[in-house]
Structure 1
Amino acid sequence: MPSYLLLIFLLLNSFLQQDPDISELKSKIEEYLSEQEGIFAIWFQDLEDENQHFAINEDTLFHAASTMKTPVMIELFRRVEAGEISLEDSILVENKFNSIVDGSEFQMELLPESTDPIEKKVGEMATIRQLNHAMITYSSNLATNILIQQVGAEQTTQTMRELGAMNIQVLRGVEDLKAFDQGLSNRTTAKDLAMIFEHIANGTAVNPEMDHLMIDILTDQHYGDIIPAKLPDDVTVAHKTGSITGVEHDSGIVYLPDGSSYVFIFLSKNLPDNIKGREIGAAVSEMVYEFGISQ
C-alpha cells in the first residue's frame, strides 16, 4: 500500500475510534424527545471538563414541583453556617399554615398510608435535621412548609439570585390552593437548577462542609425512578425529584466509579402520563451515562 494511502487509512481509523462527540449525544437525545409527547428540558455538564456540556430548552420555565426543596435546603444550610439556626433545634410539628394570597389558614392532606416520617410526628417535636432530611429524601411536603416558615420563601429566592440562578422563583410552600388557583406557583428552569447543583458539587453553594452534608442527604434520596433508574449500582446519584400531574423532574449530580462526575437535569411538562414521563427521563439519563463512560 502506498504510504499516502496508509496515512489516510490510519487517520480515518483514528477518527472512527474517537469518543462520541457531545453534539452527537445532544442530537440523539433531541431525536428521542421529538418522538415523545410533552415538553422537555435537559442539562448536562461534565464537572471535570467544562467543554463537555449541552442543553435543551434550558431557559424554558417549568412548575418547580418538589425541585424547589433543594433551594430551601441551601437557604437552611446558609442560616446554619451563619449561626442563626442549628440543625439540632427542635420545632413543634403542626399541620397549620397560611396562604400567601390572604393569610387565611389551611391544612395539608395527610394520608395514613404515607411513608413521610414527619406526618407521623404531628403534635410532637422534630429537629431541623430531621425535617430537612425528610424534605429531601421523602419529599415531605409537611416538613417543607415548616422549614419555609423558618427561612422564608422570599429570602430563599434571593439566595438563589446570589448564586446566579435568575429564574428560580420560590413563592410559597405546598398545597396553598388559593395561591395555586391564582397561578402563584414555584418556578424553575433547567439552567438554574444546574447552576445550584454545580455550586453544591463545587462546595460553593454555602461552603465545602455544608455542601458535603447536603450531598450526603441528596444521595440518600428515596425515589429513584428517573436519573438512577437504569444506571449501575456502583454509580452514586445525589439528586432531588419533583412530580405533579403531567410533570416529572429529576435534578442532581452523578458520581461515576472512576471519580468523574456530572450534573444532569431532566424537566418535563404537559405529559399525558406520569409513568411514561419517568421512563423518558430514565432513558435520557442512561444515554448521558453511556456517553460519560465512553470518554
Structure 2
Amino acid sequence: MVESRIREVFAAAGAEGVLHAVPVGRAPDAAEVAVGADEPVVIASVFKVLLVLEFARQVAAGQLDPRERVRVTAHDRLGGWGTAGCADDIEVSLRDLAYFALSVSDNTAADLLLARVGPDTVQLLAKELGLDRTRIVGGPREALASMLAEVGAADQEEFAQLYPSLPDERKSRLGVLDPQRTNSATPREITRLLRLVWRDEAGPAQACALVRQLMSRQVFRHRMVSGFPDEVTVAAKTGTLPGLHMEAGVVRYPDGGSYAVSVFARTREPTAARTAVDSAIGATARIAVDFLRGQGC
C-alpha cells in the first residue's frame, strides 16, 4: 500500500512522518493519501502562509497599504535569513516583509508583519476558513522567547552555547516542539488551507493570488522540490525546528494537474539539519502524488 511505502521511506531516514495529499481541483474526499493526516503537528514557519494570507486580505479590503514603510532595527532581529540577519537597520515595505516571510522564511519580517495585521487576526482567520484544529498562539518572537526561557539563556548567543550541551531528553521537551503548547494544526487542515488559496476560496482572488505568487518564490529546494522532475513546479513553505522537518505546498504538472501536499517529519535526535529526512520529504510527496495521478486525479 502507498501508506506503507511512505512509512518505510521515513523509517529509512531515521524519522517518523505524517502526510496528507489531495488534488486541488476535486472534492477533498474524492481521492487522498493520508498517513497520520489528523494527528496534531507543530507547524513552525508553515504558519507564515496564514499570516501572509491575512495580510493580503487586509490589503484587498483597503485596511492596509502594502507600500507602508517599516524600519527594521537591531531590536527587531531574531536571527536567520533576510532582514532577520541584517547587520544594519533597514527600511522596507509591508509587502516586502510578506515576500521575505515566505521566500526565505524571514522570522523578523514575519514578526513585524504579525504586529501590523494584529496578533489575534491569524487565529480568527483559521477559524473562518474552517481550520478548527489549527492553533496560533504567537509569532517567531514568542517562540524564541519560549526557547530562551526554557534553556535559561539570556539571548540567542547564550542559547547557541547552552543548547548543544543539553541532554536529548531535555531538548525534546521544549514547548516549541509540543503541538499543545505552540502553533499547530493537522496535515489535513494544512492541505485544506492550500486548496482554499489555490481555488480563490480563502479570500478575495487578488489576496489568494499574492500568496500563491510568494510561495512560488521560496528559495529552499532541498525538501519537496527534490522529489519531482524539473518540469513540475512546486509552490511551498518549509518549517524547521530541532528534530522537526516539514513542508507544505502545491505541486503542479505540465498537464495542469495540481496537488496539495503537507509533510511533517520528526527525528529521534533533536537536530535542525538532516539531509536524509529532507530528501524523504520530497520522496514521500512524490509517492503520494504519483498515487493520486494513477487514480486519474
TM-score, normalised with respect to structure 2: 0.80
TM superposition shift of 1:130: 0.8
Q: How does 1:201-216 map to 2 (within 5 A)?
A: 201-216=198-213
1:291 corresponds to: 291
1:222 corresponds to: 219
Is residue 2:115 matched to residue 1:136? Answer: no
Q: How does 1:46-195 map to 2 (within 5 A)?
A: 46-50=23-27, 51-96=30-75, 108=78, 110=79, 115-117=81-83, 119-120=85-86, 122-176=88-142, 177-180=144-147, 181=150, 183=175, 184-195=181-192
Q: Distance in 1 between matches of 2:123 and 2:88?
A: 28
Contact in 1 for aligned 2:7/2:17 (Cα 8 Å):
no
Q: 1:277 to 1:175 in 2, by over 3 A?
A: farther
Aligned match of 1:260 in 250, 257, 261?
A: 257
TM superposition shift of 1:292: 4.5
2:239 corresponds to: 242
SS of 1:237's equivalent in the other structure is strand
* Residues 129-138 or 277-286, more deviating: 277-286
TM superposition shift of 1:139: 0.4
Q: Distance in 2 between matches of 1:187 and 1:292?
A: 26
TM-score, normalised with respect to structure 1: 0.80
Q: Distance in 2 between matches of 1:82 and 1:54?
A: 36
Q: 1:92 to 1:231 in 2, by over 3 A?
A: same
Q: Distance in 1 between matches of 2:293 and 2:229?
A: 12
Q: Deviations over 1:220-251 (max 9, x none)?
A: 11011111112111111111000111010000
Q: 1:90 to 1:61 in 2, by over 3 A?
A: same
1:275 corresponds to: 275
1:45 corresponds to: 22
Q: Distance in 1 between matches of 2:220 and 2:191?
A: 19
SS of 1:204's equivalent in the other structure is coil
Q: 1:276 to 1:153 in 2, by over 3 A?
A: farther
Contact in 2 for aligned 1:62/1:269 (Cα 8 Å):
no
Q: Deviations over 1:109-164 (max 9, x none)?
A: x4xxx652564385232101111100000000110111111123322011111101
Computing the radius of gyration from Cα coordinates, the structure with the larger value is 1
Contact in 2 for aligned 1:171/1:185 (Cα 8 Å):
yes
Question: Structure 2 counterpart of 1:86, which letter?
Answer: D
Q: Distance in 2 between matches of 1:192 and 1:293?
A: 21
Q: Distance in 1 between matches of 2:139 and 2:124?
A: 16
5+ unaligned residues in a row in structure 1: which ranges? 1-23, 98-106
Q: Deviations over 1:233-285 (max 9, x none)?
A: 11111110001110100001111100111101101124436322212111102
SS of 1:96's equivalent in the other structure is helix
TM superposition shift of 1:86: 1.6
Question: Structure 2 counterpart of 1:238, which letter?
Answer: A
Question: Structure 1 counterpart of 2:146, which letter?
Answer: A
1:26 corresponds to: 3
SS of 1:263's equivalent in the other structure is strand
SS of 1:220's equivalent in the other structure is coil
Question: Structure 2 counterpart of 1:185, which letter?
Answer: T
1:18 corresponds to: none
SS of 1:268's equivalent in the other structure is strand
TM superposition shift of 1:34: 5.1
5+ unaligned residues in a row in structure 2: which ranges? 151-173, 176-180
Q: Distance in 2 between matches of 1:136 and 1:193?
A: 15
Over the residues paired in the alignment, what is the CA RMSD in angstroms? 2.2
Q: Name the % identity.
A: 20
Q: Distance in 1 between matches of 2:60 and 2:101?
A: 19
